[in-house]
Amino acid sequence: MTDTGVKLPTLRVAVIGAGPAGTYAADILLKLQRDFDVVVDLFERLPAPYGLVRYGVAPDHPRIKGIINALKEVLDEGQIRYFGNVNFGTDITLDDLKKHYHAVIFATGAITDAPLEIPGIDAAGAFGAADFVNWFDGHPDVPRTWPLEAESVAVIGNGNVALDISRMLVKHADDLLTTEIPDNVYEGLAANPIKELHIFGRRGPLQVKFTPLELRELGEVRDVDMVLDERDFTLTDDYLAALPQQNKQVLVMTRIFDKWRAAQRARAAGDEAPASRQLVFHFWSKPIGVETDVFGRVSGVKIQRTAPDGSGGVVDTDQVEVIPVQALYRAIGYYGSELPGVPFDAVRGVIPNEQGRVATGVYATGWIKRGPVGLIGATKSDAKETIDSLVADWRAGLLWQPDAADADPAVIPALLNERGVAYTTVAGWQKLDAYERELGATHKHQRERLKVVDRDEMIRVSNS
């Protein structure tokens, strides 16, 4: 009831983006203690839901992909209508949403690479991590092949994505046969001639952004030696050492590095045979340029050595060197994409908002709201904040006011059909899910699932 004692009409909300942020927002809204009815329609530009959980997590991380099971439960409850293969801005517009819903929540995430402004970064052979992740995760909108031609590769970044792509680049393809990688990805990785991978970070080994779990998994990759520069461990920062966050996480990473350093000394002494591939860490190393050959292809990374400044940061030194490589991947973060008719902060790559509020009837949640930071727990609390703002505005009568005829549930499917949009549904996703699992079960290597890559095939199976 409102303050006047009048029961509010049914609240109709559109959510754009069916990744964790959008799905959790829809679920929270439906399960909120309330005195009014709610209808939620979930729109996704891809035929299949779950966003970065399906297309942004390395295939050898099955426990992280277990998040899909929780998201699947939300959709399987049947309270949310799902419209897949619907592109916001063309298939359905902001004007359409204003006509048919009281509000829209944008949960489109951050799916492109943050820029790295150094000379030569656009050379042939220089790639963004997001594009590579999309390829090995079988994203339907990227090419089926990837140019894995370099024996020496650079990865710029010290976060989990940098470790993910590094692991995928140095891992032997046969060790991925138990995962859901498509056959074209296996074939590409099997032909990868890589011998060494160099990973660069401008801070020290105890200031990295990746987690101990990711670091430990990297050291468990078969037939790959971890190579560290002893110089990097002689630089210390008393300020950092005294901070309370120098806790168990830092201690665990220190033990991992110490283990790798000991193994490196054993190899140097001839006590252990070297592996066929090496992963070389370069800490206190700031990339300042990309060298190219006469054909304009990557030939090296120019780095400037840094040093601790005594207060948790780094300062540049006069030491500059070039590490020869033939390919480069930047993994310095993700960046959101601008949406037609929606405000956008081009510096941060987000939709500007106040507690999820963007404009009348317009809200945001997830990475497009706060930037590409935080894990699932943060995504849930972030969605709750946005839903609280939306419901408060609903009670205050501040949302859009569509005509009753336009609120008919049959209007949206009719509109999409009229525009020739081959949209998919929850039932269609369940068909595709079962189909992929069957492909995996009957594959010669018996996988849990074999992901369908082709968009048209995904739609055909979903709508069969």
- Name the pLDDT band for 243 (thresholds 50, 70, 90): low
pLDDT higher than threshold 60 for residue 342: yes
Distance CA 438, CA 428 (A): 15
Which of 88-97, 317-326, 367-376 shows the lowest per-residue confidence on average (mean pLDDT)? 367-376
3-class secondary structure, 150: coil
Do residues 173 and 241 share a domain?
yes
Distance of CA 76 to the CA centre of its chain: 24
Sheet with strand 314-324: strands edge to edge: 285-292, 298-308, 314-324
Distance CA 255, CA 436 (A): 40
Do residues 228 and 306 share a domain?
yes
Do residues 95 and 141 share a domain?
no
The predicted model gives 106-131 an average pLDDT of: 95
Do residues 79 and 135 share a domain?
no
- Of 274, 302, 334, the position where a domain reaches its end is 334
Distance CA 27, CA 40 (A): 9
Q: Which residue has the higher pLDDT, 278 or 448?
A: 278
Look at residue 457 and tell me if it is in a domain: no
**Which residues are 279's β-sheet partners?**
197, 226
Do residues 40 and 67 share a domain?
yes
Do residues 328 and 206 share a domain?
yes
**Which residues are 81's β-sheet partners?**
41
Range(s) of the domain holding residue 391: 11-111+336-423
pLDDT mean across residues, the chain? 93
Tokens found for residue 434: 């079962």
Look at residue 441 and tell me if it is in a domain: no
Which tens digit of pLDDT belongs to each residue from 350-366?
999 999 999 999 999 99
Question: What was the pLDDT predicted at 332?
Answer: 94
From the list 196, 156, 76, the residue with the least C-alpha distance to 329 is 156
Tokens found for residue 128: 């963004």
Which tens digit of pLDDT belongs to each residue from 281-319?
999 999 999 999 999 999 999 999 999 998 888 999 999
Question: What was the pLDDT predicted at 463?
Answer: 96
Look at residue 192 and tell me if it is in a domain: yes
Question: How would you classify the pairing of strands 224-227 and 277-282?
Answer: parallel
For 374, other C-beta atoms within 10 Å of its C-beta total 14
Check which CATH number belongs to the domain holding 184 and give it. 3.50.50.60
Look at residue 315 and tell me if it is in a domain: yes
Q: Which residue has the higher pLDDT, 251 or 97?
A: 97
pLDDT higher than threshold 60 for residue 246: no
The number of folded domains in the chain is 2
Question: What was the pLDDT predicted at 209?
Answer: 86
Do residues 86 and 170 share a domain?
no
Task: Indicate the burial class of 103 (C-beta count within 10 angstroms; 0-12, 13-18, 19 or more).
Answer: buried
Distance CA 296, CA 318 (A): 27
Do residues 190 and 274 share a domain?
yes
Cβ 84 vs Cβ 44: under 8 Å: yes
Which tens digit of pLDDT belongs to each residue from 50-72?
998 899 888 998 777 678 888 99
Report CA-CA distances (Å) from 351 to 119, 346, 464: 29, 9, 37
Do residues 285 and 141 share a domain?
yes
Look at residue 203 and tell me if it is in a domain: yes
Give the H or E element holding residue 81: strand 80-83
From the list 263, 168, 264, the residue with the least C-alpha distance to 214 is 168
Question: What was the pLDDT predicted at 84?
Answer: 98
Check which CATH number belongs to the domain holding 107 and give it. 3.40.50.720
Do residues 125 and 146 share a domain?
yes
pLDDT higher than threshold 80 for residue 106: yes
Do residues 292 and 148 share a domain?
yes
- AA identity, residue 107: A
Report CA-CA distances (Å) from 223 to 180, 226, 276, 326, 401: 22, 10, 6, 22, 62
Look at residue 446 and tell me if it is in a domain: no
For 3, other C-beta atoms within 10 Å of its C-beta total 7
From the list 413, 434, 441, the residue with the least C-alpha distance to 82 is 413
Look at residue 116 and tell me if it is in a domain: yes
The predicted model gives 380-401 an average pLDDT of: 96
Do residues 177 and 194 share a domain?
yes
- Of 334, 359, 389, the position where a domain reaches its end is 334
Which tens digit of pLDDT belongs to each residue from 133-142?
999 999 999 9
pLDDT higher than threshold 90 for residue 101: yes
Distance CA 129, CA 148 (A): 14
- Of 276, 311, 334, the position where a domain reaches its end is 334
348 φ, ψ (degrees, to nearest 5)? -90, -15
Report CA-CA distances (Å) from 277 to 86, 153, 311: 43, 11, 37
